[in-house]
Amino acid sequence: MSCGRGISSHVGVWGWLAVRSRCGSWSSLPDSKKIDIFLDAAASKAGEINPTLAKVISVGKPLIVIPIQLVMCLAPLYFWLMSVAYHIYTMLPTNVITALFGIALCFFGGTYVASIAAIEAFRQLGWKKLYEEVLAVWEEVNAVRAANAKDDLEDKDRDGKADVWQLTPAELAQRKTFVVMRSITKPERLQTAVGSLWTAYIAVLATLRLEFARTTAFAIGIVEMVKYPAVRYLSPLILAILSKEMPSDGAKAWSVTIVESSLTLLAVIFAWYLQMIISAFYSGLRGGRLFADAICEILIEKGLMEKLPFVSVPFKAEESYIDEVIGYSLAACGFLFQFWSGFSLPFPLNIIFLPLSIIEWFLRIQITMTADVAH
């Protein structure tokens, strides 16, 4: 049996001892396996308080470990992409950055409508201050990572095995908790930074809820109009299926819930699709204008504008239609690209922008849910 399978097949102290006999050293384990062991420790500790809680942690462990494994697998790639993008950003002239941003708005403005609005809201709230808070949190995270890596290799008794590998799950959890506490030298600063970021996020979420109020109101309105006839005609079909395995009262309640939840989901998707069309049209025009202005500035700076065959000499920007032609042409291309692709990105862009896509859907769910609660 492999190390990983041994870890995931046992819970608590006995599982920890069985794994320890099969695996070489703590430092050689992937981080995801260490997290698996930490969850075993949590389940073991919770079992002392409430056996049901321990069972919930053990059963739900794959729902925690699998996403963490996926993040750890993809994180190095995205950190590399971010570093390359930032390096390119620092090297390019302002006009080139503006042109690239204009292209991004033209071709992705509708796809990432909530994310772009959130970025704009964060910028209006004072990005410099927020950036300082993010740096403060990031510094503490790096300190914790460094301290944890050092602790994984510590061998005070000099027996050739790391100390963390010779602890029970409960002892390991307690040890790592104190490692984190000791590595954070300014807990009050971290508390302030996290609080500021949370406050900013709540403010941004409130701003987005107001900005997309029509979208959520439209979705809720659709559900209210079609809910009763849909429940009347569809719930008996679901009831016939559920009643074979459930009591009649429970099956009836679940059939109504399934129909209403499905209607809400479909209405929200449809409402956001309409919002993407509107946003794609607007962002296409805005992005095309930004691109056209940046390109004209670059051509003027390089002395190439007056050398073009269709440009009058001397060149006068206020009398020329070249920026409108470039801007509207790019806007049309961007809008059509988004519309015909169904606001989905082709490969490999869908992989490159996967983190942004996850943030986009998370924001949409947050906006819709908070609006629904307010309604």
Per-residue pLDDT, 37? 67
**Contact indicator for 311, 299 with CB cutoff of 8 Å:** no
SS3 breakdown of the chain: % helix, strand, coil, rounded to 5?
A: 85, 0, 15
> In one letter, which amino acid is 54?
A
pLDDT of residue 8: 38
Residue ranges of the chain whose pLDDT lies below 70: 1-38, 41-42, 44-50, 57, 168-170, 311-319, 370-375
pLDDT score for 24:
43
d(CA 343, CA 111): 5
pLDDT for 7 equals: 37
Q: Does residue 313 sit in helix, strand or coil? A: coil
| Tens digit of each residue's pLDDT (9 = 90 or more) over 142-165 | 888 888 888 878 877 777 777 777
Q: What is the pLDDT of residue 4?
A: 40
CA separation for the pair 193, 215 (Å, rounded)? 33
pLDDT of residue 311: 67
- C-alpha–C-alpha distance, residues 235 and 356, integer Å: 37
Are the CB atoms for 269 and 364 separated by under 8 Å?
no
Q: Taking the model in full, what pTM does it have?
A: 0.67
pLDDT digits (tens, 9 = 90+) for 68-105: 777 777 777 888 888 888 888 888 888 889 999 999 98
